[in-house]
Structure 1
Amino acid sequence: MTRLRPFWIAGRFLSRLPFPDPGPTAPTEVGRSVPWYPLVGLLMGLPAALAALLLADTPSDLAAALVLILWVWSSGGLHLDGLADSADAWIGGLGSRERTLEIMKDPRSGPAAVTAIVLTLLLKWSALKTLVATGVLWPLLIVPLLARAQLPLLLLTTHYARTQGMASDQFHHLPRRMAWLSLVLSGLATLVVAGWIGAALILAVLTLYWFARRAMLARISGFTGDTAGALVELTETLALALCALVGVETFDS
């Protein structure tokens, strides 16, 4: 049971799924939970995939909306909050590292935050509508896996921009070998399920990661929990859109 504590910690942190409560956690345990993030992402896609299956005969507009509600529920809006804070900070920070970090800590949401959330959810809904209408549901599992795999990759390759915070524990106590292994397994799972489309998805999300990391380093010399959450949301949106645009018919055939 003790060996599963990092898995439970990851599940309780990232999702609303009924993971066992691990109780008080040490910073080292928080770090050891990071390699489990991709698996938690995969499990987070199950409610949406099951809903899409059950709603097969429902009009695709409504079905996609209900699936999206479950998609957002599964994370409790955790990463949407990071996207909102990052959008406000990037627009309002005016190129200043200190001002950008300060805005991220402000609980209020500005126009940039609202715009980012609305556009992200709209794009996700549009992509989900296509996927639900065609009955191709594997992206509902693989996309959240790939999005959460971005987190150990970010922690492995990028410095934490603040001195304190939960992400600091994740960064300083990350078991690097296990984190790399989780990334390899995530990539293999994607290739097994989606074939060459999976390879295209991996290439796309890595390209997004490169640009996002470059922007983080240029603005705040590292990452924060908010920018990590924004990366997850952007990855999900990009991957879902690609599946809807180019992957569905080819894979389904």
Structure 2
Amino acid sequence: MMRGLLYAIGFLTRIPVPVSVFEDTRARRLSVLAYPLVGLLLGVILAGLGLLLEDHDDLLASALILVVWVGLTGGLHLDGLADSADAWIGGLGERTRTLDIMKDPRCGPSAVVAVVLLLLTKLAALQAMPGPLRMPALLLAPLLGRTALTALLASTPYARAAGLASDLDGSGRAPWLVMAAALLASLLAGVDGLLASVAAATVFGVWRQAGMRRLGGYTGDTAGAMAEMVELAVLVVMALRLG
């Protein structure tokens, strides 16, 4: 399981891990179970940074937190959001066309607009929360975003014959136990955790259904887009409550 966690850290973040772990097929399959732990790790780092910056200007602190957030993930899920935005609009409701556009490395205007709007809204949500009240949001958003990834892989077929996420093992009972533990941890935050969990579950349900209707499943890009949208929903809901 430890190698699965290391694989998940190396795959979902830019935190260095031993290169040999990526040669372990079993670690790759088990890494799905560790996604929520990676989210928790990101949350702890971001909350720690937020604590260090809580006495500084809210806008500057929020911007620095967001820069570190993107840097830690290498923009992995932002890339998925960009590709999904281009494909969903340019695909014109057609499955094959949508999948083909996702494979195109070029970014269209829809991709740029989607990424800019998401980052601006994240920044606004972080800035709207007073420094000390920002910590729960910084912990919960990455945790629930990666928990949603585990839920997607456990409940949804892969839409392509092969791809980066095609052999990740999200089947069986274990992913559901992991998700239950992550949600329980969120609920320990009280009302904030409950609102965050509801927001995450809503985005998960709506986006999963959209993927099933258009593609018959998920791709790595739609999974990344979902993680970003879950994070955004959690931040916005908590900003509206706490700001």
The whole-number CA distance in structure 2 between the counterparts of 1:182 and 1:114 is: 34
Amino acid at match of 1:230: A
Superposition map of 1:103-252 within 5 A: 103-170=101-168, 173-174=169-170, 176-192=172-188, 194-246=189-241, 248=242
Unaligned segments of structure 1, at least 5 residues: none
The whole-number CA distance in structure 1 between the counterparts of 2:130 and 2:67 is: 14
Deviations 1:6-61 (A, max 9, x none): 01000000011233434343443311110100010111123322221111222111
SS at match of 1:94: coil
Amino acid at match of 2:159: A
Q: Is the 8 A contact 1:149 1:186 kept in 2?
A: yes
Percent identity between matched residues is 47
Amino acid at match of 1:74: L
Decide whether aligned partners of structure 1 residues 24 and 234 sit closer, same or farther in structure 2, where only a CA change above 3 A counts. closer
SS at match of 2:158: coil
1:4 is matched with which residue? 2
The whole-number CA distance in structure 2 between the counterparts of 1:102 and 1:12 is: 27
SS at match of 1:168: coil
Decide whether aligned partners of structure 1 residues 168 and 55 sit closer, same or farther in structure 2, where only a CA change above 3 A counts. same
Comparing 73-82 with 37-46, greater Cα deviation is found at 37-46
Q: Calculate the TM-score normalised by the size of structure 1.
A: 0.91
Question: How far did residue 132 of structure 1 move?
Answer: 4.6
Deviations 1:62-118 (A, max 9, x none): 111001001111111000000000000001001110000000000000000000000
The whole-number CA distance in structure 1 between the counterparts of 2:126 and 2:59 is: 9
Deviations 1:186-212 (A, max 9, x none): 0111011x1122122212211111110
Decide whether aligned partners of structure 1 residues 132 and 71 sit closer, same or farther in structure 2, where only a CA change above 3 A counts. farther
Q: Is the 8 A contact 1:27 1:169 kept in 2?
A: no
Total equivalences in the alignment: 243
Deviations 1:144-178 (A, max 9, x none): 000000111111111100011121111xx335222
Superposition map of 1:76-87 within 5 A: 76-87=74-85
The whole-number CA distance in structure 1 between the counterparts of 2:100 and 2:44 is: 36
SS at match of 1:82: helix
Unaligned segments of structure 2, at least 5 residues: none
Q: Is the 8 A contact 2:140 2:234 kept in 1?
A: no
Amino acid at match of 2:2: L
Question: How far did residue 180 of structure 1 move?
Answer: 1.0
Q: Is the 8 A contact 1:187 1:202 kept in 2?
A: yes
1:39 is matched with which residue? 37
Q: Is the 8 A contact 1:87 1:112 kept in 2?
A: yes
The whole-number CA distance in structure 2 between the counterparts of 1:143 and 1:52 is: 14
